[in-house]
């Protein structure tokens, strides 16, 4: 036990672990704040789609030897708005629209990657996350953007909640529902572009879905769901980073497995409470 504490203390002494925790916790909160809107609007898979778009944008950035984040964010934001538009207008269902944009992006990413063989290792780190090797310039930008996402959801909480529950009533109340959807789309895009650093393209959508669905098992209120989901997400992330350091496991995978364990426990509690 003392050994473990020593190792954790040891881990905390590293600058990169502290930075990973800072960025990771902020992104985990972003995911929980947005997850409830996406899950309840049956738009959970937008995370997956946008992660694939992010993957393509990282390939483009690496090809141009540019820093990935400034390239990714505008493109992913546009893709997110495009998915929203497609699902609203073109008589496509939301999930089909996501599927189109998503597979096109993966195809683009793969083709670009094969055109320039040199950066495949780097690209791999975006597939499964590499939070422990985040650059300093990325950290500042990530913290600013994550705080922006959290602030935006807090500030627009009432209109967003009203629109999530009942779009027509929100409209009658003078709330601009479409603008609200666009805001969610933009914030989600930013979160995904930041988040693929933490758990990677393959796993980012789980960071959006798991904590929300876990909290929904036990929470009655909207605010309570967001709070509980943030708590679950932050605990999973923190424990995941330390555990992966301790046991030399991949960080992203460890975080998601912890999230899954939380879900299993909460699901079990709800079933027990129902039968009792």
- 203: contact with other proteins by CB under 8 A: no
In the complex, what is the shortest distance from the CB of residue 38 to other proteins, in angstroms, rounded to a whole number? 14
In the complex, what is the shortest distance from the CB of residue 208 to other proteins, in angstroms, rounded to a whole number? 16
- Answer for which of 61, 84, 150, 216 binds other proteins (CB under 8 A) is 216
- 118: contact with other proteins by CB under 8 A: no
Nearer residue to other proteins within complex by CB, 25 or 177: 177
- Answer for which of 173, 179, 268, 273 binds other proteins (CB under 8 A) is 173
Using CB under 8 A as the criterion, what x/- string covers residues 29-68 for binding other proteins? -------x---x----------------------------
In the complex, what is the shortest distance from the CB of residue 218 to other proteins, in angstroms, rounded to a whole number? 10
Stretch that binds other proteins, among 50-58, 183-191, 202-210, 218-226 (CB under 8 A): 218-226
- 247: contact with other proteins by CB under 8 A: no
In the complex, what is the shortest distance from the CB of residue 74 to other proteins, in angstroms, rounded to a whole number? 26
- 136: contact with other proteins by CB under 8 A: no
In the complex, what is the shortest distance from the CB of residue 257 to other proteins, in angstroms, rounded to a whole number? 25
- 165: contact with other proteins by CB under 8 A: yes
In the complex, what is the shortest distance from the CB of residue 261 to other proteins, in angstroms, rounded to a whole number? 22
Secondary structure, 3-state, the chain: CHHHHHHHHHHHCCHHHHHHHHHHHHHHHHHHHHHHHHHHCCCCCHHHHHHHHHHHHHHHHHHCCCCHHHHHHHHHHHHHHHHHHHHHHCCCCHHHHHHHHHHHHHHHHHHHHHHCHHHHHHHHHHHHCCHHHCCHHHHHHHHHHHHHHHHHHHHCHHHHHHHHHCHHHHHHCCCCHHHHHHHHHHHHHHHHHHHHHHHCCCCHHHHHHHHHHHHHHHCCCHHHHHHHHHHHHHHHHHHHHHHHHHHCCCHHHHHHHHHHHHHHHHHHHHHHHHHC
Nearer residue to other proteins within complex by CB, 142 or 212: 212
CA 42 from centre of chain: 16
* N-term to C-term CA, the chain: 37
Q: Which residues bind other proteins (CB under 8 A)?
A: 36, 40, 155-156, 158-159, 161-162, 165-166, 168-175, 216, 219-225
């Amino acid at each position: 036990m003392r050994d473990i504490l020593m190792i954790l203390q040891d881990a905390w002494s590293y600058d990169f672990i502290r930075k990973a925790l800072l960025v990771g916790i902020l992104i985990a909160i972003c995911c929980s704040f947005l997850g409830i809107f996406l899950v309840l609007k049956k738009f959970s898979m937008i995370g997956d789609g946008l992660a694939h778009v992010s993957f393509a944008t990282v390939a483009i950035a690496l090809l141009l030897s540019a820093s990935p984040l400034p390239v990714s964010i505008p493109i992913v934001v546009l893709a997110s708005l495009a998915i929203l538009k497609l699902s609203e207008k073109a008589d496509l269902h939301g999930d089909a629209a996501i599927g189109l944009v998503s597979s096109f992006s993966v195809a683009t990413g793969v083709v670009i990657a094969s055109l320039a063989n040199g950066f495949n290792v780097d690209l791999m780190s975006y597939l499964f996350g590499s939070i422990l090797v985040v650059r300093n310039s990325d950290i500042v930008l990530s913290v600013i953007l994550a705080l922006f996402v959290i602030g935006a959801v807090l500030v627009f909480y009432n209109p967003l909640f009203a629109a999530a529950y009942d779009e027509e009533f929100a409209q009658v109340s003078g709330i601009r529902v479409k603008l609200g959807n666009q805001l969610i789309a933009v914030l989600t895009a930013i979160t995904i572009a930041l988040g693929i650093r933490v758990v990677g393209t393959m796993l980012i959508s789980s960071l959006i879905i798991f904590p929300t669905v876990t909290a929904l098992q036990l929470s009655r209120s909207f605010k309570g769901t967001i709070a509980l989901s943030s708590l679950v997400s932050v605990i999973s992330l923190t424990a995941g980073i330390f555990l992966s350091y301790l046991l030399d496991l991949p960080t992203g995978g460890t975080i998601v497995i912890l999230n899954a364990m939380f879900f299993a426990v909460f699901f079990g509690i709800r079933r027990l409470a129902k039968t009792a």
